[in-house]
Structure 1
Amino acid sequence: MASAASTGSTPVYAPAACNWNLESAFFPGQFAWGASTAAYQIEGGWDADGKGPNVWDTFTHQGGDRVFKNQTGDVACGSYTLWEEDLKCIKQLGLTHYRFSLSWSRLLPDGTTGFINQKGVDYYNKVIDSLLANDVTPVVTLYHFDLPQHLEDQGGWKSDSTVEAFDAYAQFCFQTFGDRVKLWITINEPYVVAVLGYEEGTMAPGVTEPGTGAYLAAHKMIKAHAAAWHSYDRLFRKQQGGLVSIALNSDWAEPFEPNSLADQEAAKRHIAFCLDWFATPIFVDGDYPAIMKSKISAMCKKQGLTSSRLPEFTQEEKKTIKGTADFFSLNYYTTRKIKHQDNAHSQPSVSADMEAEQVTDPSWPVATGSSWLAVVPWGLRQLLKYIKDTYNHPVIYITENGFSQSDPAPLDDTQRWEYFRLTLQEILKAIYIDGVHLKGYFVWSLLDNFEWSCGYSSRFGLFHVDYENSALPRVPYRSAIEYAKVIANNRLI
């Protein structure tokens, strides 16, 4: 299964040579219209049918107000037993693609292939087969934040043993499901796992090691991703014909003062420490961005350290990491204005190393369910242009983009649909004006779900879930109805 990402061919639809109208333009043929979910956030059944514990089970069960009202994903949307209800939602939207993640510990309870939980295999076979029976393409994420607890007990993402376990897990999934799954994502948002999970400790596994934990975890995740990509390439690609990538999240960054050189450089650092941290090794040269290496090294010298806190890849590892993505998977939500911040005397951390303060423009609307989510659709177009220019014009899928409402959330979610409508306009501009090779768009999320530390207070779903009702009914928001119209017509109407 060839793609422009691997062949270097130019998409026939970009840039448009003829005049076109934003309001009447169609999206490209075979455009992937999707919605995304993650296992821990929707499945529930946390200990059902032989599933092993993962770090989010542990993190939420420990309490301590780390999650809104000490809520957990023990039940969530009940998708483990209510899959058919989710499928009805998918069919109602008319999705061409559905992105979901596999629960690593539901398939392999201790994270290793020493014991395989057949009931977990049966569940995901049912999901995949029923999607295909309804002409929906499955897009499968191997790891979406829910590391098996057994592996975390052995060092988690700071350990080489987890790299090896992930590769074995990936091979198991390719072998088990790869005859039907042709679009794979290895790891979702390694930046979030590294910084929030292993430095700030605000997400599972709750490790607080400022200045070192995030860099080490990211280092191992990049190696794990590359190992899994090579395993697919070597053992499965010829027979299965699929594509493998990694989902990277990033805000767009604008200089706070456009004419300030210091703010311009700080905005570049913000992108380097977020997106390029992972994209440069994987898509360019197998190594970290030069701006990131030099900045961390300089900060370490100021702190009296004899070596950098950023780990180094060997020459052999760089060769192994370079080129290990068949398309660019992007998760985008918001934009920030960035100003330079002198952190020379701050305690070591990723944020301090970056020396870039994030500012939200007060003129930007903010999502009611997430104080961090400023509505800046034009930032996505800027980010897509940056990826095209920086990473050799790859095929891109936007694998997450969404807007949250606070609870209780109105079904007539006018503000959210406006966010989506404006975002889709910017996507059309990116395709037809900027020549970005964008092949798909996935809303986060299909359902209201367990939104990590926000629990159930932040609702991102196209479908409302009534958690007070034991049947957990799904009801479409207005945005779901409008999105279905766009999908049916392949254009904004």
Structure 2
Amino acid sequence: MSIKRVLVFCLVLGVCWCGNLDFPPGFKFGAATSAYQIEGAWNASDKHLSVWDFDTQSDPKMVRDGNNGDTACDSYNLYKRDVEMAKELGLHFYRFSISWPRLMPASFPIRISEDGKRYYNDLIDELLKNNIEPIVTLYHWDLPQRLQNLGGWANPLIADWFADYARVAYSFYGDRVKTWITINEPIVICDVVYNTGLLAPRVQHEDGALICNKNVLLAHAKAWRVYDEEFKPKYHGKVSMANQMVWLEAASKEDEDIAILAREHSYGRYTHPVFSREGGWPAKLERAYADISKKQGYLRSKLPAFTKKEIEYIRGTYDFLALNHYTSRKVRKGSPGESATLFTGIYDFDIKFEVDESWKNGSTSWFYVYPEGIRKQINWLKQQYGDVEIFITENGYCDDGDMVDDNRVEYYKDYLKQVLLAIKEDKAKVIGYTAWSMMDNFEWIDGYQTKFGLYKVDFDDPERTRTPRKSAKFYADVIKHNSLDIPESQEL
């Protein structure tokens, strides 16, 4: 590394470990996808409908380009190419999700799809054959429509339904899968769904998010305990839940208190019951909801109470902390009538979310670039929950599909630098990093217009040809050298 480059890195990072841009030994790099976004084959064999199948087919207008995931990347048929890409990148692991209605068409373990079971067996075996660790997410938003017809995440029985599904998946794949994510981004399946009605199953209800919140936590806890009691003694794996955290920063010193409340509302609700020593809801938030519910005329708090038994049942149900992070917001006290944002949906409190004018925008409305946010988010977690192991399970950049995707390369460089700062300066126990996404896919209500992929997917080609972007080469070099100090001859 030249002296000039050393000085540039020092100035950018502002750290005492100048020139040392290596990640710790054993640090893991991977990439992620999810079932509905890539698999396609929506009606292959005996697979049943998910809420995304049902809603996008019933009303194409819910997606900005009118498309759906019926075919997507066709990974159901092209999974070997997916594994080949993971190998080209040099990934240590590949995170993917299982489709509940593909594996269990009846939603309950009364019937297992042999074709669905085989598909995930084949994918896992292909990964292991290429020395790539499979990390499996049990639920990435594709709820069986049959269960939505029974109330979905608003029905408290779903905790048992989810635990039964988890047990089936553990029994089929636990001998080879050692890292599990129970539920991906509960803030999205609860807050965004019920507060906005924009995402499947598009049930908008002012109280739905808080009911869903409690049920998701119980479902996660039951699934964690099923593994801990029935499978961990034999397979010695780890299980956690992945939370989406938009870093929320006070817009001014006067806004510090409202920023604390915003954090407790946006991610404390999903982390405090699991990771804190005392369990239960964050105390400040619980008091705030008791007060606002009384003012609104409710006979009891809108935030559903936990019993002492439930608090103890949920508390401590983790083996690591899984963090999804993309973007940040400034927080200030709002004025009456000001709207909340898509990702936080805080309608009960006078909180306003803004972006700094210096933050660059990605290709979708919610995405702004603030690299320091990921370090601040990691430090918040460390301050709240101690020296817990943190696994970054999603982080990535969206654009319009450029092959020479310099903005994505810059995003990865800048965010990974902040991760290194958190590790080396702040002594945070960050153990791994996951790029979202390995390839372009169906990006929910953005359809195929928004691109997150290290690999471009040609959705006009029946073969769904995958082609590496510049960022793929960059990420492969980071992994190869376990460092951001990539020799110049390796850079594009």
Aligned partner (choices 374, 388, 399) of residue 405 of structure 1? 399
Say which is worse superposed, 227-236 or 264-273, in terms of deviation.
Answer: 264-273
3-state SS, counterpart of residue 267 of structure 1: helix
C-alpha contact 1:269 1:354 (8 A) present in aligned 2: no
C-alpha contact 1:286 1:320 (8 A) present in aligned 2: no
TM-score normalised over the length of structure 1: 0.92
Per-residue deviation, residues 242-296 of structure 1 (Å, max 9, x unmatched):
0000000111111112x21xx1112112211111111000111331111221122
User: Equivalent residues in 2 for 1:286-297 (5 A)?
Assistant: 286-297=279-290
1:19: Cα distance to partner?
Answer: 5.7
Say which is worse superposed, 160-169 or 219-228, in terms of deviation.
Answer: 160-169
Change (3 A) 1:468 1:221: same
1:417 aligns with 2:409: yes
1:449 aligns with 2:441: yes
Distance in structure 2 (CA, Å) of the matches to 1:64 and 1:453? 10
Aligned to 2:197: 201
Aligned to 1:482: 474
| Same amino acid, percent of matched pairs | 40
Distance in structure 2 (CA, Å) of the matches to 1:204 and 1:394? 33
Aligned partner (choices 371, 374, 378) of residue 377 of structure 1? 371
User: Equivalent residues in 2 for 1:59-98 (5 A)?
Assistant: 59-63=55-59, 65-98=61-94
Distance in structure 2 (CA, Å) of the matches to 1:289 and 1:344? 26
Aligned partner (choices 181, 188, 192) of residue 192 of structure 1? 188
1:243 aligns with 2:235: no
Aligned to 1:440: 432
Say which is worse superposed, 64-73 or 146-155, in terms of deviation.
Answer: 64-73
3-state SS, counterpart of residue 245 of structure 1: strand
Say which is worse superposed, 336-345 or 198-207, in terms of deviation.
Answer: 336-345
Aligned partner (choices 227, 234, 250) of residue 232 of structure 1? 227
C-alpha contact 1:110 1:151 (8 A) present in aligned 2: no
Matched residue count: 467
Distance in structure 2 (CA, Å) of the matches to 1:224 and 1:61? 28
1:33 aligns with 2:29: yes
Say which is worse superposed, 35-44 or 300-309, in terms of deviation.
Answer: 300-309
Aligned to 2:307: 314
Per-residue deviation, residues 350-384 of structure 1 (Å, max 9, x unmatched):
512242211011111111x2122111111100110
3-state SS, counterpart of residue 65 of structure 1: helix
User: Equivalent residues in 2 for 1:128-139 (5 A)?
Assistant: 128-139=124-135
1:162: Cα distance to partner?
Answer: 1.5
Aligned to 1:12: none
Distance in structure 1 (CA, Å) of the matches to 2:466 and 2:337? 51
Aligned to 1:460: 452
Per-residue deviation, residues 189-211 of structure 1 (Å, max 9, x unmatched):
0010001222321101000101x
User: Equivalent residues in 2 for 1:107-122 (5 A)?
Assistant: 107-122=103-118
Aligned partner (choices 142, 145, 152) of residue 149 of structure 1? 145
C-alpha contact 2:264 2:282 (8 A) present in aligned 1: yes
Q: Identify unmatched segments of 5+ residues in structure 1.
A: 1-17
Distance in structure 1 (CA, Å) of the matches to 2:371 and 2:424? 16
Aligned to 1:4: none
Distance in structure 2 (CA, Å) of the matches to 1:207 and 1:148? 15
3-state SS, counterpart of residue 353 of structure 1: coil
Distance in structure 2 (CA, Å) of the matches to 1:306 and 1:345? 27
1:178: Cα distance to partner?
Answer: 0.3
- Read off the aligned partner of 2:307 and give its amino acid letter: T
1:428 aligns with 2:417: no
C-alpha contact 2:41 2:76 (8 A) present in aligned 1: yes
Aligned to 1:271: 263
1:470 aligns with 2:462: yes
3-state SS, counterpart of residue 193 of structure 2: helix
C-alpha contact 1:269 1:356 (8 A) present in aligned 2: no
Aligned partner (choices 360, 385, 403) of residue 391 of structure 1? 385
C-alpha contact 1:273 1:354 (8 A) present in aligned 2: no
Distance in structure 2 (CA, Å) of the matches to 1:167 and 1:51? 20
3-state SS, counterpart of residue 431 of structure 2: strand
Name which structure has the greater RCO, CA cutoff 8 Å, separation 6+. 1
3-state SS, counterpart of residue 348 of structure 2: helix
1:110: Cα distance to partner?
Answer: 2.1
1:161: Cα distance to partner?
Answer: 2.3
1:345: Cα distance to partner?
Answer: 11
Aligned to 2:5: none
Off by >3 Å, runs of 4+ in structure 1: 342-347
1:64: Cα distance to partner?
Answer: 5.3
Distance in structure 2 (CA, Å) of the matches to 1:93 and 1:355? 46
Per-residue deviation, residues 324-352 of structure 1 (Å, max 9, x unmatched):
011000000011111112559999x9512
User: Equivalent residues in 2 for 1:296-307 (5 A)?
Assistant: 296-307=289-300
Distance in structure 1 (CA, Å) of the matches to 2:75 and 2:345? 36
TM-score normalised over the length of structure 2: 0.93
Aligned to 1:358: 353
C-alpha contact 1:98 1:136 (8 A) present in aligned 2: yes
- Read off the aligned partner of 2:167 and give its amino acid letter: Q
Distance in structure 2 (CA, Å) of the matches to 1:223 and 1:425? 36
1:232: Cα distance to partner?
Answer: 0.7
C-alpha contact 1:343 1:353 (8 A) present in aligned 2: no
1:182: Cα distance to partner?
Answer: 0.5
Distance in structure 1 (CA, Å) of the matches to 2:303 and 2:106? 30
Aligned partner (choices 263, 266, 274) of residue 282 of structure 1? 274
